Structure 1
């Protein structure tokens, strides 16, 4: 059995209860060492085997899984954040299906939600934004043309932009081309929930200068949208005394 588990954004105590249970009972751990804390190995059984996938190819990961299966061992594949978002699990699941190896997936807290928690913000403010877009700019991994930042920016939704902080100058131009103003609130969230986390509040027009001044080139999220200001929003209907629900007249 292989359990894909979302480790969360960094802090060890942000893993889910289910994910922690799988981890404690694992015989083999394959974790994304470039982004996942090595402290998670402290929860393992003493005789568990540990592999850092940051130094491995897909084929090497598959070899470890096959070895574990041959010995009737349980494997936890520990991914950063939530496995379904930029986690490269589809190719691993395709391999497991081909080999008839059972698996399941346990969700995790992604950086966009950890950053919102740290800033005490809500992405979906009534009258401001009711949509959150999770995306990235094109790099070595391409992005479909219809999903370009310029196109997505035209919605003026809240946006959480992954894997792009090292291209803030390009990102700024694309956001402006899509219709965000230079004064639109923005933030750079670096290593959210880690001991050295840093959240820099800025604007779209100053994104590139802030990134350069801070020297942040990886493991950071760019957040854009008027929801960041947490002001001038409408009251939610859910708790309005004049609003009828299934539970309240």
Structure 2
């Protein structure tokens, strides 16, 4: 009887969030997948190549910085027919500005199984680098992730000026080269020229990170002076600088007068809540 050759079942493609830059900010799951990967396609223009250091010997590693989406999908499909675990290593989190669906669709059409591993967003890494909170009780409880319109148009109702009218925290991606348009939109939305702004260049990259604090009226020139023109997160928020506020409304969850299912209140509820400074807007 002649031997029957069973076709190799295609492997699985994992879209892994590499985080903002520091390889140690990869999730444990992402690192473990890299350690058993047969092939890795990483976004070399944005992802620190050190994130591939856990790859096993013999792993095929390619840089996608000069590839089109079609070329990336073709590469991933080809590697999935040779390896059980193939990784697309993306900056930050794959679900944010990551062209995830555009690459997944051809994989679906080719019958390749896909899974996603989340990563630390540069928005979170930037707030962490600057020791800032994106939300504060009775200041803002809303965070908007957005960008300024460039070659990619914004949907109706999502211009930065319209979003900024909410006066919540704005984490503005992919817009550092349009910083003048950002500040103009904030002013048009009613923000004070003296409102604080934060720009973090390459958050968590130990040798390249820059934290720039300014105001709406000064931040553009400060970024020019620091030669920051790429890979930067822009944050405008009524919470910026709260570390230095003399008064602050505290979270009710940890208040001694607040009862919840794990703890009974130990003091009476105050008759009137404290106030905080609102000079930031």
Same fold (TM over 0.5): yes
Which residue of 1 is the match for residue 17 of structure 2?
Answer: 6
1:18-97 pair list within 5 angstroms: 18-97=29-108
Distance, in Å, in 2 between the alignment partners of 1:191 and 1:205 is 23
Report the Cα distance in structure 2 between the residues aligned to 1:93 and 1:67, rounded to whole angstroms. 14
Q: CA deviation at 1:153?
A: 0.5
Where does the alignment leave 5 or more consecutive residues of structure 1 unmatched? none
> Taking structure 2 as the reference length, what is the TM-score of the superposition?
0.86
**What corresponds to 1:244 in structure 2?**
259
Q: Looking at secondary structure, tell me which structure has more helix per residue.
A: 1
Pairs within 5 Å for 1:186-205: 186-194=197-205, 195-205=207-217
Contact 1:28 1:73 in 2 (8 A): no
Asked which structure has the greater CA Rg, the reply is: 2
- TM norm structure 1: 0.97
Distance in 2 (alpha carbons) for counterparts of 1:25 and 1:72 = 10
Q: 2:162 aligns with which of 140, 151, 154?
A: 151
Per-residue displacement from partner, 1:173-199 (whole Å, max 9, x unpaired)? 011111111111101100111121000
Q: Distance in 2 between matches of 1:246 and 1:94?
A: 45
Task: Please state how far the C-alpha of 1:233 moved relative to its aligned partner.
Answer: 3.1
Q: Tell me if structure 1 keeps the 8 A contact 2:146–2:171.
A: yes
* Aligned-residue CA RMSD (Å): 1.1
Q: Which residue of 2 aligns with 1:224?
A: 236
Task: Determine the structure 2 residue equivalent to 1:114.
Answer: 125
Q: Which of the numbers 248, 252, 263 marks the counterpart of 1:233?
A: 248
Q: CA deviation at 1:133?
A: 0.8
**Alignment size in residue pairs:** 249
Answer with 223-232 or 17-26: which moved more.
223-232
Residue 69 (structure 1) shift: 2.3
Specify the alignment match of 1:213 in structure 2: 225
Structure 2 CA distance, aligned partners of 1:5 and 1:20? 9
Unaligned runs of 5+ in 2: 1-11, 265-281
After the TM superposition, which segments of 4 or more aligned residues of structure 1 sit over 4 Å from their partners? none
Moved more, 204-213 or 84-93: 204-213
